[in-house]
Chains A and B, each alone.
Chain A
Amino acid sequence: EDKVVQSPLSLVVHEGDTVTLNCSYEVTNFRSLLWYKQEKKAPTFLFMLTSSGIEKKSGRLSSILDKKELFSILNITATQTGDSAVYLCAVGTLGEETSGSRLTFGEGTQLTVNP
């Protein structure tokens, strides 16, 4: 059974801090790892990673994948209160011929940034 584990489950920091969120996985037929940000309602897409060692960056957020050690990290520098959200990690796999590709989500990390 495919498994995606995020840590920590919950994190409280002060504005300006740097945070690192972790996502480890054990899956069959890995294809991609995706990060989403969920503020109350609809998750919004942040990054998709398919290759090891290549950092993806968007403003203060960055992410990298290690396919040998089977994990990814999401870094947020100079955090702001608007970064408060649940961050979801999902791993895409290619299933059997009849089932096609799948996506397995982790539990999410609840990040709270206090002023």
Chain B
Amino acid sequence: DGGITQSPKYLFRKEGQNVTLSCEQNLNHDAMYWYRQDPGQGLRLIYYSQIVNDFQKGDIAEGYSVSREKKESFPLTVTSAQKNPTAFYLCASSMGPLSYSPLHFGNGTRLTVT
């Protein structure tokens, strides 16, 4: 079955450590996205990539980094520069432009930093 796989489901880290969240898709979608979800707030876009070897900052990119070396993979690194990293992170992909193509989401990674 086609879909998006995020791993791990839960991640615990100490403050000051970088951590990488995995996102793999087999939907053959060109575009991939990372969102952050916090209680009481809508999903906020961190980074997106419309094609391999290219990515753009979203609305809250500070303290995060990404890479897109393969079409199927779009890992997100949460660096120690991110002031409030504890959140639920969702990876998504779409077949076409955001405003016309529904997003397909992974099951998310819940990151807790203490």
Name the residue on A nearest B6 (C-beta). A42
B93 to nearest A CB, angstroms?
A: 12
Choice from B103, B105, B106 contacting A103 with Cβ under 8 Å: B103
A67 within 8 A of B: no
A53 within 8 A of B: no
A88 within 8 A of B: yes
B114 within 8 A of A: no
Number of A-B contacts (CB under 8 A): 59
Q: Is chain B's binding surface mostly helix, strand, loop or mixed?
A: loop
Q: Are B99 and A101 in contact, CB atoms less than 8 angstroms apart?
A: yes
Please give the number of chain B residues whose Cβ is less than 8 angstroms from any Cβ of chain A in the complex: 21
Q: Are A100 and B42 in contact, CB atoms less than 8 angstroms apart?
A: no
Residues of B near A94 (CB, < 8 A) are: 99
In A29-62, the 8 Å CB interface with B consists of: 31-32, 34, 36, 41-45, 48
Q: Are A108 and B108 in contact, CB atoms less than 8 angstroms apart?
A: no
Please give the number of chain A residues whose Cβ is less than 8 angstroms from any Cβ of chain B in the complex: 27
Residues of A near B108 (CB, < 8 A) are: 41-42
B45 within 8 A of A: yes
Residues of B near A48 (CB, < 8 A) are: 100, 102
B30 to nearest A CB, angstroms?
A: 12
Q: Are B99 and A45 in contact, CB atoms less than 8 angstroms apart?
A: no
B7 to nearest A CB, angstroms?
A: 13
B61 to nearest A CB, angstroms?
A: 13
Q: Are A102 and B90 in contact, CB atoms less than 8 angstroms apart?
A: no
Interface residues of A (CB under 8 A from B): 4, 9, 31-32, 34, 36, 41-45, 48, 88, 90, 92-94, 99-108
